[in-house]
Amino acid sequence: MDGINLKNISYTYPGSKAPVLANLNLQVPRNKWTTIIGHNGSGKSTIARLIDGLLVPDEGEITVNGMTVTEENLAKLHRQLGIVFQNPDNQFVGATVADDIAFGLENHQVPREQMQPLIDDALKKVGMSDLAAAEPTMLSGGQKQRVAIAGILALHPQTIILDEATSMLDPEGRKMVLDLLASLRQTEELTIVSITHDPVEMSMADKLVVVDHQGIAEEGTVDQVLKQTDLLRKLGVGIPVGQELRDYLVNAGVEVPNRYYSINEMVEWLCQKLS
């Protein structure tokens, strides 16, 4: 089956009593953008680590494009799936941007003589060709995350997981990374899984999933999920500010359509109402 499928997944960290996930079922459709939200400690990163094979579920099965995630096929899995983590500074091993990507290719036994075109191509895709010889320490957070993405793209993956990958970036760097991923999703036919607290990043999702207490509390389109402010509050998930404003207006007796509003959409709606 295409995409990522988690079937009846249970997981307890060694030494802890309560499971982080119990009988979790999650479908991530291929070539779509799926976003996972949930309060701190709800198990989002654990899900990412299980999909990536860094953790092994106690029960259940995970498949990525039909291939079961097992210890035996981890190398094969990591050629089609990569994770970008939160801290851009923890992801570098090379002395230059190009070296860093070469190192990743070396890990996947790509012969030296085949590397250069792959590196050039990947850096071009993330708009970092000019900085191939730069030292990673000279880069901004957004540029570092773009190099991390290039390192994954060089292996021609089908899936990229972003575990709060934009949370340490300034708004400009964040926008650049998100726009890049949205365009790569189409040109490279990527499946994207993003874990985030950022409303803009959430709004890019084709499918939004809320994780809570060992399982999935809600899933649907951005509109279907984010307009349920009472539920989100109960689940300890931050409410996007446009939607918060909508709630205030409704409580004050203003009739506002029952749908999700980003802050820009809410401002637009108010301006129209006032003019």
Ligand X SMILES: Nc1ncnc2c1ncn2[C@@H]1O[C@H](COP(=O)(O)OP(=O)(O)O)[C@@H](O)[C@H]1O
The residues of the shown chain that bind ligand X, judged by CB under 6 A, are 13, 16, 20, 38, 40-46
CB atoms within 10 A of CB 1: 10
Give the nearer residue to Mg ion in terms of CB position, either 101 or 210: 210
45 is a contact residue toward Mg ion (CB under 5 A): yes
Q: Do 12 and 43 touch, CB atoms closer than 8 A?
A: no
Name the binder of 41 from ligand X, Mg ion, none, CB < 5-8 A by kind.
ligand X
- Cβ proximity to Mg ion: between 9 and 98 the closer is 9
Q: Specify the stretch interacting with Mg ion by CB under 5 A; choose among 10-18, 38-46, 64-72, 165-173.
A: 38-46
Token pair listed for 232:
């989100």
Pick one of Mg ion, ligand X, none as the site partner of residue 137 (Cβ within 5 to 8 A by kind). Answer: none
Q: Closest approach of Cβ 60 to ligand X, in Å?
A: 16
Question: Is 77 in a helix, a strand, or coil?
Answer: helix
Tell me if 89 sits within 8 A of 125, measured CB to CB: no
Contact window for Mg ion (CB under 5 A) among 8-16, 19-27, 43-51, 108-116: 43-51
Q: Which is nearer to ligand X, 38 or 141 (CB)?
A: 38
CB atoms within 10 A of CB 71: 7
Query: Which of Mg ion, ligand X, none interacts with 16 (beta carbon under 5 to 8 A by kind)?
Result: ligand X
Looking at residue 73, the DSSP 8-state letter turns out to be T
Q: What is the DSSP track for 189-205?
A: T-EEEEE-S-HHHHTT-
Minimal distance in Å, beta carbon 185 to ligand X?
23
In whole angstroms, the minimum distance from the beta carbon of 188 to ligand X comes to 26
What is the sign of the dihedral through the CA atoms of 267, 269, 272 and 275?
negative
Q: How far is the CB of 164 from ligand X (least distance, A)?
A: 8
Tokens at 216, concatenated: 């999935």
Please state the closest distance from residue 161 (CB atom) to Mg ion, in A: 11
Q: Which long-range contacts (CB under 8 A, 24 or more apart) does 169-176 make?
A: 169/88, 169/141, 169/142, 169/145, 170/140, 170/141, 170/142, 172/142, 173/140, 173/141, 173/142, 173/143, 173/145, 174/142, 174/198, 174/200, 174/201, 175/200, 176/142, 176/146
Complex with Mg ion: residue 42 or 228, whichever CB lies closer: 42
* 166 makes contact with Mg ion (CB under 5 A): no
Give the nearer residue to Mg ion in terms of CB position, either 44 or 246. Answer: 44
* Site residues, Mg ion (CB under 5 A): 44-45
